[in-house]
Amino acid sequence: MPSNTPLVGDTVWFSEINTSVAQVFSHNWSDAPNLGDISVIDWSTVPPVEIVISGFPCQGVSIVGKGAGIAPGTRSGLWSCMARAIEELQPACVVIENVRGCSRPPLPDPRRGIKWTR
């Protein structure tokens, strides 16, 4: 839902493997540690958060991509790592940024496989 009111909060941590991007994040959020590669994070050791904001590569879901989908092992399959984080952390809100193709079939429901407890 669009809003003119900015979100107020703190960046507690981030996960980024691209060195240049991680440097920008570290510059903007110097108190937030980079957890590194999302595919190997032990989420049980990560401080819980109320909001998770994330994105993943769009090639598998974009109309100009090869349509590989979001299956594990594809570039867009990074979604499965995000789903694991969401299931473990159980944030109150999740914001996922990606292309319009994420909302169209034949992609599986991105909520499938996540056990929500709230």
As annotated, the active-site residues are: 58
Residue 101 CB neighbours (<10 A): 18
Three-state DSSP class for residue 94: strand
Instruction: State the SS3 of 8-54.
Output: CCCCCCECCCCHHHHHHHHHHCCCCCECCCHHHCCHHHCCCCCEEEE
